[in-house]
Amino acid sequence: MAEETLPPVLSLEGVRKSFGLGTPVETEVLHGVDLVMQRGEFCALIGPSGSGKSTLLNIIGLLDRPTSGRMAIEGQDTQGLDDAGQTRLRGHSIGFVFQYHHLISAFSAAENVMMPMLVDGGWPTAAMRRRAEELLDQVGLLPWKDNPANHMSGGQQQRVAIARALAMRPSLILADEPTGNLDTKSAADAFRLMRKVNREQGTAFLIVTHSLDLARQTDRIIQIVDGRIVEGETGLLA
């Protein structure tokens, strides 16, 4: 029997997004975006300011809906999902890393990593705590597990944020300028950590960045210009 082929982690077909629908100032920001990411890909999304990167990322992250077109996450068509269904799919299949870590400052590192599990499960358990500690160990922060987030360096906080993004074992991490608020060394450390997770766990990454140097260290560069995907380059490993 042939081995079953898993669907792509992400598939967009003809995705369009307009704002101000039905008004004199209606504006289409995304113009028929087609994009496929396979499982385990490590990609950069680049483009000038105003090109539609943030709008596209919000749609992929199920934080906004396209005006038209289709999108599937791990083969699950998102078009027919209600808000609760999208929330469930987002919680289990997608992790987020932002430029600003958005940790809860008074919570410990472990408690911050547990947050996605608490949102899903509703009540803290010993298994959640073990999972948080396992992830903090993976990012080199287990000795700081009980430290409040606001007592950690910027680089440490971003590593906690990466651990938090992995809490629900998502197949896709969306990283929006994840090194943009860090010094050079901390930025390099955070990037190496994401690459390590990608290679060891097979988690796909889509990294939005303004840094062409960072983009060239990914496996594939996806460029968006004026709301359209233009031909990306491959094989740009550093």
CA 42 to chain centre: 11
- Alpha-carbon gap, residue 158 to 100, rounded angstroms: 8
- pLDDT for residue 67: 94
How many residues are present in the chain? 238
- Judge whether 106 lies within some domain: yes
- Judge whether 11 lies within some domain: no
- Judge whether 185 lies within some domain: yes
Q: What is the CA radius of gyration of the chain?
A: 18
Q: Facing residues of 12 across strands?
A: 35, 71
Instruction: Count up the domains in the chain and report the number.
Output: 1
* Tokens 């749609």 sit on residue: 59
Cα distances from 53 to residues 58, 176, 185, 222, 230, in angstroms, run 9, 9, 26, 10, 13
User: CB of 33 within 8 A of CB of 56?
Assistant: yes
- Judge whether 148 lies within some domain: yes
- For the stretch 156-182, pLDDT in tens is 888 899 899 998 999 999 998 887 777
- For the stretch 86-108, pLDDT in tens is 999 998 899 998 777 678 888 99
pLDDT class of 154 with cuts at 50, 70, 90: confident
- Strand ranges for the chain from DSSP E: 10-19, 27-37, 42-46, 68-73, 76-77, 94-98, 172-176, 204-208, 220-225, 228-234
- Judge whether 225 lies within some domain: yes
pLDDT class of 235 with cuts at 50, 70, 90: very low
Q: 122 CB contacts (<8 Å, ≥6 apart)?
A: none
Task: Look at residues 39, 55, 43, 59 and name the one whose alpha carbon lies nearest to residue 209.
Answer: 43
- Quote the percentage of the chain above a pLDDT of 90: 52
- Residue/partner pairs of 77-85 with CB below 8 Å, 24 or more apart: none
Cα distances from 54 to residues 64, 71, 174, in angstroms, run 11, 16, 11
- Judge whether 14 lies within some domain: no
- Alpha-carbon gap, residue 39 to 37, rounded angstroms: 7
- pLDDT for residue 71: 96
Domain of residue 222, residue span: 33-234
- Domain containing residue 48: CATH number: 3.40.50.300
- pLDDT for residue 231: 65
- Judge whether 220 lies within some domain: yes
Q: 169 CB contacts (<8 Å, ≥6 apart)?
A: none
pLDDT class of 232 with cuts at 50, 70, 90: low
Q: Virtual CA dihedral for 85, 86, 87, 92, nearest 10 degrees?
A: 90
Task: Look at residues 8, 12, 65, 60 and name the one whose alpha carbon lies nearest to residue 35.
Answer: 12
Q: 179 CB contacts (<8 Å, ≥6 apart)?
A: 158, 186, 187, 188, 190, 191, 209, 211, 214
Structure tokens at 140: 């080199």
